[in-house]
């Protein structure tokens, strides 16, 4: 049965590492509310899982679950986990050494040393190979182990005069994959408390998992952006080429100008990099698109612009405003036998630090079922549902709950889309 002393030490260490991860390592630092909530939850988990005098001894697993191995032939850039830069690793070992009661601390990936602090740093340098068979066991099984005794086959140091004599080695993992280790060394034969080392490694693993989630979020954003590029309506291209072809004989100069505009349109859509661009660039893209559509609809389509000059230099998500205009034209001019007016309005709210974009048409509108299907992405392409649902999902990834995306429509009364996003 354990005493309360190690539990108090574990809780103290846990909160120290939580502060390190949330306020020092995180970019930007997490809010105090999030830090406190995370600390309370992790403290509860630690207490419930810790063998204390109140609960009796903790039951260890008879056989640890094997982790999915990481390929060993990857280069250094691929091997290093996201979020574990040299600066982060150095700061972590410097903080963990006094907290864990060790004489030295190291952080490794699966093949080499990433950071080391304490006696022996002259030969346990960054980039040096890993030797200890015990560390191989940790990397293979995901189980924390302790070792005691000199020698390359125990501590994992070929240097005969190395001052380190014992160690506790815990796995660093992201999900079910062990990607490295945290090792706390002592100069005596009494190894560090393995539960404390395991708790510290678990918190650092949480930081790495958050960094990995951020990478996955960026990948998801890139995927959504590619999806928006790919779903540029092929009917739009076909219809525009038909319009150009019909004018080659009657007005070749106008046909040439339209062809240049069409090339500009696709060049911007395909070559634009990054998730954000100045509103002025997106505005020019919209004007190019509208010019091509007006050549098709002639007097049936009228577009009005009400743009605050202050918004032109503000960054907005790329390939968002044009699909809103496209949706308005589809629900307006495409289904309206008369003249349709589409209005684009953009403003900056300097107090709320937001950009507000409103797209309104006086076309045929949508009934309730069509409206719901459009927002859910269940509607056919010719109703613009895929575009709006992609935009909605991408805005969620970019801004979370810090944005507004509303679509209001009634049959015969047109459609209004209101978009509000934070200023960057």
Give pLDDT tens digits for 296-332. Answer: 888 889 999 999 999 999 999 988 899 899 888 877 6
**Residue 61: per-residue pLDDT:** 33
Count the neighbouring beta carbons within 10 Å of the beta carbon of residue 30: 16
Give pLDDT tens digits for 390-414. Answer: 788 888 888 888 999 999 988 888 8
Structure tokens at 314: 């503000």
The structural domains of the chain, ordered by start, are 4-214 (3.30.450.40), 231-422 (3.30.565.10)
Kindly report whether the global pTM for this prediction surpasses the value 0.85. Answer: no
67 pLDDT band, cuts 50/70/90, is: very low
Structure tokens at 22: 């949330």
Give pLDDT tens digits for 194-219. Answer: 888 887 787 777 667 656 655 555 55
Does residue 74 surpass a pLDDT of 60? no
234 versus 19: the higher-pLDDT residue is 19
**Residue 382: per-residue pLDDT:** 44
Count the neighbouring beta carbons within 10 Å of the beta carbon of residue 60: 9
User: HEC profile for the chain?
Assistant: CCCHHHHHHHHHHHHHHHHHHHHHHCCCCCCHHHHHHHHHHHHHHHHHHCCCCCCCCCCCCCCCCCCCCCCCCCCHHHHCCCCCCHHHHHHHHHHHHHHCCCCEEEEECCCEEEEEECCCCCCCCCCCECCCHHHHHHHHHCCCEEEECCCCCCCCCCCCCCCCCEEEEEEEEECCEEEEEEEEEECCCCCCCHHHHHHHHHHHHHHHHHHHHHHHHHHHHHHHHHHHHHCCCHHHHHHHHHHHHHHCCCCHHHHHHHHHHHHHHHHHHHHCCCCEEEHHHHHHHHHHHHHHHHHHHHHHEEEEEEECHHHCCCEEECCCHHHHHHHHHHHCHHHCCCCEEEEEEEEEECCCCEEEEEEEECCCCCCHHHHHHHHHCCCCHHHCHHHHHHHHHHHHHHHCCCCEEEEEEECCCEEEEEEEEECC
**Residue 422: per-residue pLDDT:** 94
Contacts of 307 (CB under 8 A, 6+ apart): 283, 344, 345, 346
Which single residue is written with the structure tokens 């034969």? 189
Give pLDDT tens digits for 247-303. Answer: 888 888 888 888 888 878 877 876 666 788 999 999 999 999 999 999 988 888 999
Q: Rounded to an integer, what distance in angstroms lies between the CA atom of residue 308 and that of residue 305?
A: 10
Contacts of 72 (CB under 8 A, 6+ apart): 110, 111
């Amino acid at each position: 049965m354990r005493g309360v002393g190690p539990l108090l030490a574990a809780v103290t260490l846990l909160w120290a590492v939580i502060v390190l991860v949330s306020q020092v390592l995180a970019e930007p630092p997490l809010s105090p509310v999030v830090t406190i909530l995370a600390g309370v939850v992790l403290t509860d988990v630690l207490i419930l899982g810790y063998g204390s005098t109140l609960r009796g001894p903790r039951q260890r697993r008879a056989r640890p679950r094997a982790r999915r191995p990481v390929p060993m032939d990857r280069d250094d850039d691929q091997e290093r986990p996201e979020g574990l830069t040299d600066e982060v690793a150095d700061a972590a070992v410097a903080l963990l050494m006094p907290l864990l009661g060790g004489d030295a601390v190291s952080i490794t990936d699966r093949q080499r040393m990433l950071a080391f602090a304490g006696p022996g740093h002259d030969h346990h340098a960054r980039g040096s190979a890993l030797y200890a068979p015990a560390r191989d066991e940790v990397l293979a099984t995901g189980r924390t182990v302790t070792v005691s005794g000199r020698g390359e086959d125990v501590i994992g140091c070929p240097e005969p005069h190395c001052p380190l004599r014992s160690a506790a080695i815990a796995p660093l993992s992201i999900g079910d994959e062990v990607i490295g280790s945290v090792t706390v060394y002592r100069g005596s034969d009494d190894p560090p408390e393995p539960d404390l080392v395991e708790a510290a490694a678990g918190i650092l693993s949480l930081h790495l998992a958050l960094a990995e989630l951020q990478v996955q979020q960026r990948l998801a954003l890139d995927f959504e952006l590619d999806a928006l590029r790919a779903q540029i309506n092929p009917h739009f291209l076909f219809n525009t080429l038909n319009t150009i072809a019909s004018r080659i004989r009657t007005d070749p100069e106008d046909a040439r100008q339209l062809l240049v505009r069409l090339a500009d349109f696709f060049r911007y859509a395909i070559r634009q990099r990054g998730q954000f661009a100045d509103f002025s660039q997106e505005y020019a893209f919209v004007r190019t698109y509208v010019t091509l559509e007006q050549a098709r609809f002639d007097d049936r389509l009228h577009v009005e612009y009400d743009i605050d000059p202050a918004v032109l230099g503000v960054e907005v998500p790329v390939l968002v405003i044009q699909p809103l205009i496209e949706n308005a034209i589809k629900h307006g001019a495409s289904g309206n036998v008369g003249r349709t007016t589409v209005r684009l309005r953009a403003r900056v709210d300097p107090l709320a630090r937001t950009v507000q974009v409103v797209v309104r048409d006086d076309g045929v509108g949508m009934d309730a079922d069509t409206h719901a299907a459009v927002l859910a992405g269940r509607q056919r392409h010719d109703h613009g549902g895929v575009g709006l649902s992609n935009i909605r999902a991408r805005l969620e990834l970019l801004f979370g709950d810090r944005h507004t995306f509303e679509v209001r429509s009634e049959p015969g009364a047109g459609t209004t889309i209101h978009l509000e996003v934070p200023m960057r």
